[in-house]
């Protein structure tokens, strides 16, 4: 069993590394086709062409694309993300600070939405076909389609402007403790909770309905096992398999898809950093930011695959007995 799990892990790891390499190529080519150049963005539209050419030479942005890519990848393999064109400083500290901020916000989002979403999905499945099930399903579908900027503005008006229960900005004062940081993160987390609730609740409900009608559940009930034992040991363990994958996929979204939320709440996360780098033609920062988000998404997917396999060993053998 340990050998099978090890082989499964190595296959998934190799596939993840291949995906990350292909992503680096896509990111690099995408940055190369963006209009403009770093020197022009730094010096301004009225700068002398000779000064622009000299700065491009100094930055190395006028080298052949293959040479630039190999230099960038070689630096990444040694932990060097390059130099920011806009800040004239190493990229890594900016990425690290923004990544920590985004991880804090993502942790707040999932601390709220995972228990609520799973609980609502379980409750809907136990009341399948009844008014409570329909109410949860309709609410989840309705909340999912609300754009983040709409829910963000509505939440700001209600909780920050009218009621004044929560801070308007997600940026807390320097030296603030954990409780103050949590207070500032609640409001920007709620728009993402609204979007993700429907996905998690629907997947949990679907898994629960299938598990409740499975043979192993009926067998456990016929054996006379207490219902909480049947629900916890037999139903939930199998029902949550697809939910784990959905949660892992949404973690990547919660980290990198926060541009609107971070902009509205003036939060210095990885999404706003990537947007600012794109506007400033800061290709080194842009490439490192996008690749960091992609690496995080790939890592969470790999962890989800491993957790799913641990919960369902049949996946390691392709469903063979």
Dist CA 271 CA 109 (whole Å): 15
- In whole angstroms, give the CA distance from residue 252 to residue 299: 9
Output the six-digit token pair for 320: 């063979």
CA distance 37 to 270: 22
Q: What is the Cα–Cα distance from 57 to 37, expressed in whole angstroms?
A: 12
Please report, for the chain, the start and end positions of each structural domain, with discontinuous segments joined by +.
15-80, 93-316
| pLDDT tens track for 216-242 | 888 888 888 888 888 888 788 788 877
What is the third-level CATH fold of 93-316?
MetI-like fold (1.10.3720)
Higher-pLDDT residue of 76 and 316 is 76
Q: Return the DSSP state at 257.
A: S
pLDDT tens-digit map of 251-270: 777 776 677 888 888 888 88
Alpha carbon distance 18, 11 (integer Å): 11
In three-state secondary structure terms, 26 is helix
pLDDT digit string, tens, across residues 151-179: 888 999 999 888 888 888 788 887 788 88
- pLDDT of 318 strictly over 70: no
pLDDT in tens, 116-142: 999 999 999 989 889 999 999 999 888
**Complete DSSP assignment for 176-226:** --HHHHHHHHHHHHHHHHHHHHHHHHHHHHHHHHHHHTSHHHHHHHHTT--
What is the value of pTM for the model shown? 0.81
Alpha-carbon gap, residue 234 to 220, rounded angstroms = 8
d(CA 290, CA 276): 12
């Amino acid at each position: 069993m340990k050998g099978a799990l090890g082989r499964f892990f190595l296959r998934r790891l190799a596939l993840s590394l291949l995906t990350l390499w292909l992503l680096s190529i896509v990111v690099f080519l995408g940055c190369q086709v963006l209009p403009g150049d770093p020197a022009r963005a730094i010096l301004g539209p009225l700068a002398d062409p000779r000064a622009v050419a000299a700065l491009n030479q100094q930055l190395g942005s006028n080298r052949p694309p293959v040479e630039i890519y190999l230099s960038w990848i070689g630096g990444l393999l040694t932990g060097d993300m390059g130099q920011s064109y806009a800040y004239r400083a190493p990229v890594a500290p900016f990425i690290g600070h923004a990544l920590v901020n985004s991880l804090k916000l993502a942790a707040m989002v999932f601390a709220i939405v995972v228990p609520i979403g799973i609980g609502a999905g379980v409750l809907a499945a136990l009341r399948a076909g009844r008014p409570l099930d329909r109410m949860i399903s309709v609410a989840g579908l309705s909340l999912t389609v609300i754009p983040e900027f709409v829910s963000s503005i509505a939440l700001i008006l209600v909780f920050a402007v009218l009621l004044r229960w929560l801070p308007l900005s997600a940026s807390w004062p320097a030296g603030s403790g954990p409780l103050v940081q949590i207070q500032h993160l609640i409001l920007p987390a709620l728009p993402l909770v609204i979007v993700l609730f429907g996905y998690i609740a629907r997947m949990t409900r679907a898994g629960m309905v299938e598990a409740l009608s499975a043979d192993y559940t009926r067998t456990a009930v016929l054996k006379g096992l207490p219902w909480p034992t049947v629900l916890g040991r037999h139903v939930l363990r199998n029902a949550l398999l697809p939910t784990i994958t959905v949660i892992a996929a949404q973690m990547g979204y919660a980290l990198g898809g926060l541009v609107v939320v971070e902009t509205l709440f003036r939060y210095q996360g990885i999404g706003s950093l990537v947007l600012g780098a794109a506007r400033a033609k800061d290709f080194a920062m842009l490439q490192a930011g996008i690749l960091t988000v992609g690496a995080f998404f790939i890592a969470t997917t790999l962890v989800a695959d491993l957790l799913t396999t641990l919960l369902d060993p049949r996946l390691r053998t392709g469903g063979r007995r």
